[in-house]
């Protein structure tokens, strides 16, 4: 028995997996050492099956030079899509880092062997909560679906348009900072007022020695306000998933 494999569908399958694995290497929660490299490769190969039926015949290059250029193009496109998605989904962790800074927990940093960098207490907590909410609400499926839809807008054999890429990246970074500040701003504002009040109390009544109770009171207030801020996280994660899909769609020229 002779087994014949069609060359063009196989090349389309491999090229699609290249774009997907480049995206998975950057986007949380798939990026990092928490997910083994082998798992990323297997997931990219599995997702590539959904792309092959949409590839039009005759669009996949067959010469060696064109294949190398197309492969590098898929790496660049996947990395760019992963970058804008990572930037937006990292807003939750950045909000936690802002809370650490104003709540007095910035010095309590620890080394995270999974991300290979230093993480603050609430920054890591918010990152873990964002990942948990993402999986609990099915947001990871929406993000993966957004990635697969980019193949409809920018097929494998087509060159990407770079005229609007800078605007998309700037918008993504802007939404990243805006979302992080919106999440942390109420708590940061209350902590600032508390610091101001304790500073005035120290000036007005220095014999009360308010400096001794300032740090324990600030820590307790931070923990209390942090618990009150948790209900806004699911809506924030949902909004960030929508923004990530819109950014991916716009980056490949779909809007």
Distance CA 92, CA 234 (A): 10
Distance CA 205, CA 202 (A): 5
**Angle of helix 64-89 relative to helix 7-24, nearest 10 degrees?**
30
What are the pLDDT digits (tens) for 219-236? Answer: 788 888 887 778 888 888
- Interstrand relation of 110-112 and 117-119 (parallel, antiparallel or unpaired): antiparallel
Q: How far is Cα of residue 60 from the mean position of the Cα atoms in its chain?
A: 31
Per the document, the length of the chain is 255
What are the pLDDT digits (tens) for 107-152? Answer: 667 666 666 677 777 888 888 888 888 888 888 888 888 888 888 8
The pLDDT of residue 224 is 82
Task: Please choose, from the candidates 141, 125, 135, the residue with its C-alpha nearest in 3D space to the C-alpha of residue 230.
Answer: 125
Cα-based angle 91, 94, 100 (whole degrees, multiple of 5): 150
Q: Which residue has the tokens 């910035």?
A: 106
C-alpha radius of gyration, the chain, whole number: 23
CA distances for 157 relative to 23, 59, 62, 139, 195, angstroms: 18, 5, 11, 29, 58
Low-confidence ranges of the chain (pLDDT < 50): 1-5
> Residue 251: exposed, middle, or buried by beta-carbon count in 10 A (0-12, 13-18, 19+)?
buried
Half-sphere exposure of 208 (CA within 13 A, CB side): 12
Q: Which residue has the tokens 């997996």?
A: 17
The pLDDT of residue 254 is 58
Q: pTM for the complete prediction?
A: 0.82
The pLDDT of residue 5 is 47
CB 55 within 8 A of CB 156: yes
The pLDDT of residue 2 is 47
Q: How far is Cα of residue 74 from the mean position of the Cα atoms in its chain?
A: 20
């Amino acid at each position: 028995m002779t087994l014949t494999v069609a060359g063009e569908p196989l090349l389309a399958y491999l090229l699609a997996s290249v774009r997907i694995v480049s995206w998975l290497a950057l986007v949380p929660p798939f990026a990092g050492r928490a997910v083994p490299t082998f798992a990323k490769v297997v997931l990219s190969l599995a997702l590539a099956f959904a792309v092959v039926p949409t590839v039009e015949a005759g669009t996949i290059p067959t010469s060696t030079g064109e294949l190398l250029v197309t492969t590098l193009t898929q790496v660049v496109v996947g990395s760019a899509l992963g970058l804008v998605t990572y930037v937006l989904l990292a807003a939750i962790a950045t909000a936690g880092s802002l809370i650490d800074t104003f709540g007095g927990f910035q010095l309590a940093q620890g080394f995270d062997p999974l991300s290979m960098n230093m993480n603050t207490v609430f920054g890591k907590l918010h990152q873990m909560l964002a990942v948990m909410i993402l999986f609990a609400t099915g947001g990871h499926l929406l993000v993966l679906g957004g990635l697969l839809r980019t193949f409809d807008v920018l097929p494998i054999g087509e060159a990407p348009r770079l005229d609007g890429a800078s605007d998309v990246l700037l918008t993504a970074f802007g939404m990243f900072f805006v979302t992080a500040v919106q999440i942390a701003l109420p708590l940061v504002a209350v902590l600032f007022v508390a610091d101001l009040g304790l500073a005035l109390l120290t000036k007005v009544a220095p014999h009360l020695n308010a400096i001794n109770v300032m740090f324990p009171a600030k820590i307790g207030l931070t923990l209390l306000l942090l618990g009150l801020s948790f209900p806004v996280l699911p809506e924030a994660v949902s909004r960030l998933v929508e923004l990530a899909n819109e950014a991916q769609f716009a980056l490949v020229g779909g809007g």
